[in-house]
Amino acid sequence: MLKPTPKNKIMFKLYITLMAYAIFLVSCGTNSSSNGSAENAADSSSNAPVEKETANTSYPPAFVGQTRIAGTKTSTAWEGTVLTKDLKKPWGIAGLPDGRLLITEKGGTMRIATATGQLSDAITGAPAVDDKGQGGLLGLTIDPQFATNRMIYWAFSERSAGGTVTAIAKGALAADEKTIQNATVIYRAAPAYDGDKHYGGRLLFDTDGNLVISTGERSDLATRPQAQDLKSGLGKIIRINKEGKPAAGNPFKDSSAARPEIFSYGHRNTLGLAMHPVTKELWNSEMGPRGGDEINLLKPGVNYGWPTITYGIEYSGEKINNGLTKQDGLEQPVYYWDPVLSPGGMTFYSGDNMPEWKNNLFIGGLSSKHIARLVIVNDKVTAEERLLEKENQRFRDVAQGSDGILYAVTDEGRLYKIARK
């Protein structure tokens, strides 16, 4: 045993000081996002799935990793910053070449937001929308040649004699950015239906310069079967050119038994479309009923099963089609959630701001109130993380700006910047 000499006392005090300093450094290694949510920047991962709630069903997945994959945690310090709270029910975001963001608002107007959150006045000139229920001004995208032609394309719910339809329009953003000029409807997903739900409404340009569009099956029991009907435009992924005509190379273009604009079918309500930055494959997010929200790898001519198969149940608790979850000839989802994510808009990340997130998929969660980050390797989901879940917001859309940074909008009117600290 050491004797309490003056030298030993000095060494002991030095040891205590060094230990306290080490503890201080460790405690400073966790950062909170600038908007007050406690997002850790720990470099650890967890094998436990992020979903802890009981599933609505006991359906077994078709393969290992199809649901409740292992959780992960971003190791790079990042933050989610609220740029503005003054949007009015924003629905879609598109990055402009100069770094600003073009945003649709459900009631029928668009706005431009700067990278610091300054909002333009409402941009007018779009055709009237029917914004009852889930309708309104929906998703948008900009022309690949926007810098020279200023063309934008958007989806909206349009009132017609037979009800409402998901319509696609195009027009030029005026030089003063106050109006849309020469707005023209180029496509309508027939037939019309007198309902106010499941319009779909996302769109993007593929590598061939064609528009890829999502339509919903309009929700009700009476319209559900149209997701399987190749003569109907409901519950489909549609592929058209800039003039609204069926795109060359579509799988049913030469078939008299199908609409030539159909790319894939058997969809319920697709609120997210994205293209993988490396493989250029198309993916969608799809609303399930009670459980059974999906992520799908979209392939031409493929049937994705709704309402014949699903991993969800009716809101009443009853089984759908006697609980059938798989059938020969019907495509399985790459990934599904139960309970629901309520997936909205989504994007693959390809920027340099957060290299750790390269090629990860980010999906807005509505009723789940977070952004889901999925790590995908060889077309399989290998890990999942929840971002901004303490913000208590319904995340309607997530997009990457031309500055390589993620932005998100919420039903409550917020615009978030999600970037490295």
At 301-330, the pLDDT tens digits run 999 999 999 999 999 999 999 999 999 999
| Choice between 9 and 293, residue whose per-residue pLDDT is larger | 293
CATH (residue range 35-420): 2.120.10.30
pLDDT (mean) for 38-44: 37
Is the Cα dihedral 386, 214, 396, 96 positive or negative?
positive
- Using CA atoms of 256, 258, 259, 261 in order, give the dihedral in degrees to the nearest 10: -110
How much of the chain exceeds pLDDT 70, in percent? Answer: 89
Is the Cα dihedral 49, 391, 37, 416 positive or negative?
positive
Q: Give residue 33's pLDDT band: very low, low, confident or very high (50, 70, 90).
A: very low
Is the Cα dihedral 406, 47, 293, 262 positive or negative?
positive
| Choice between 9 and 63, residue whose per-residue pLDDT is larger | 63
Rounded distance between C-alpha atoms, residue 274 and residue 303, angstroms: 19
- Other beta carbons less than 10 A from residue 216's beta carbon: 26
pLDDT at 254: 94
pLDDT at 47: 86
Structural domain spans, the chain: 35-420
Write down the pTM of the prediction: 0.90
Rounded distance between C-alpha atoms, residue 341 and residue 413, angstroms: 20
Would you please indicate which residues are annotated as catalytic (active-site) residues? Answer: 198
pLDDT at 38: 35
Rounded distance between C-alpha atoms, residue 339 and residue 7, angstroms: 64
Can you say how many angstroms the Cα of residue 389 is from the centroid of all Cα atoms in its chain? 15
pLDDT at 31: 32
Q: Are 299 and 212 in contact (CB under 8 A)?
A: no
Give φ, ψ of 174 to 5 degrees: -60, 155
pLDDT of 35 over the 80 cut? no
**Which tokens sit at 89?**
């029910």
pLDDT of 9 over the 90 cut? no
Rounded distance between C-alpha atoms, residue 36 and residue 79, angstroms: 9
Nearest CA among 147, 343, 306, 145 for reference residue 228: 306
pLDDT (mean) for 333-348: 98
Instruction: Give the up-direction half-sphere exposure of residue 238: CA atoms within 13 A in the CB hemisphere.
Output: 34
pLDDT at 30: 31
pLDDT of 17 over the 90 cut? no
pLDDT of 63 over the 60 cut? yes
For 370-402, what is each residue's pLDDT tens digit? Answer: 999 999 999 999 999 999 999 999 999 999 999
Q: Give residue 135's pLDDT band: very low, low, confident or very high (50, 70, 90).
A: very high
- Other beta carbons less than 10 A from residue 150's beta carbon: 17
pLDDT (mean) for 14-42: 38
pLDDT at 46: 61
144 upstream amide cis, omega within 30 of 0? no
For 280-299, what is each residue's pLDDT tens digit? Answer: 999 999 999 999 999 999 99
